[in-house]
Amino acid sequence: MNALAEELAAYDLPWLIPDWPAPPRVRALMTTRQGPLGAAIDVSTRLPAALPAQAGRRLLRQLCGREIAWLDQVHGCTVVEPTPGAPRAAADALVLTNAALAGAVQTADCLPVLFCDRLGRRVAAAHAGWRGLCSGVLEATVARLGVPPGELLAWLGAAIGPQAFEVGDEVRAAFLAADAFAEECFVAVAPGKWLADLYALARRRLARIGVGAVFGGGWCTHQEVLRFYSHRRSQDKGRMAALIWLVD
């Protein structure tokens, strides 16, 4: 058990730790809706006055031991490189190159994707809902990292699964306009209705730009009711967070 896993166990936190061959300098985790002793926990920045969310963010700050850079996510493909004390940027991905900050993206069905280079010098986090994924947020994040794609590792966090993510013709058409072979990521369920596989779409996008070391995936925020928040399921404001940071 690594040091981060031991800390989560000490707090009785059943959160996700990426199972990927990241260098020792890289730390990463994803929260669930389960907090200490099974109590519900939220880390949303959408409702800053909500006490449960404030407590969740304080716990995260304590665990990672540094300021956390949050984003005002807009379902786009803007990537920023935050600095300590800077206001939250309107963006959907961030890149970090030193240990001063941790970077976070929030989700409740959308796909969080974490990145690191094999030498542990650069890390990134991206929020990939279908709009951001289709418009190129993962490609933009990889470009901003400035590392050859073959030297990167990527981890797919918990998102809505392929048995629950129903979309219309317009979503499928948008993905197929960029990649005709993306049709394999959609299953017809009714006229004009499709089940979309966000994990498979993300893997295709990453493979097309040369990122082949992709880990994670396989959860379903919509179906795993006790474990994850899901905006589609309940329209609630709760959010999970996927964090990544470097240590000296």
CA-only gyration radius of the chain, Å: 17
With a pLDDT cut of 90, the percent of the chain lying above it is 81
The answer to whether the CB of 245 falls within 8 A of the CB of 98 is no
The tally of domains found in the chain comes to: 1
Beta bridge partners of 112: 127
* In-domain check, residue 40: yes
* In-domain check, residue 174: no
Q: What is the CATH number of the domain that holds 149?
A: 3.60.140.10
Mean pLDDT of 92-104: 97
Domain limits at 225? Answer: 3-160+212-246
* In-domain check, residue 239: yes
pTM: predicted TM-score of the whole model, two decimal places? 0.96
* In-domain check, residue 156: yes
Buried b (16+ CB within 10 A) or exposed e, 212-236: eebebbebbbbebeebbbbbebeee
pLDDT value for 51: 52
For β-strands 89-90 and 71-72, DSSP reports them as parallel
What confidence tens digit (pLDDT) does each residue in 55-91 have?
788 889 999 999 999 999 999 999 999 999 999 999 9
* In-domain check, residue 43: yes
Which region among 4-8, 43-47, 77-81, 101-105 has the lowest average model confidence (pLDDT)?
43-47
Mean residue pLDDT across the chain = 93
State how far the Cα of 58 lies from the Cα of 155, in Å rounded to an integer: 24
Mean pLDDT of 113-126: 98
Whether the per-residue pLDDT at 213 is higher than 60: the answer is: yes
* In-domain check, residue 116: yes
* In-domain check, residue 45: yes
* In-domain check, residue 64: yes
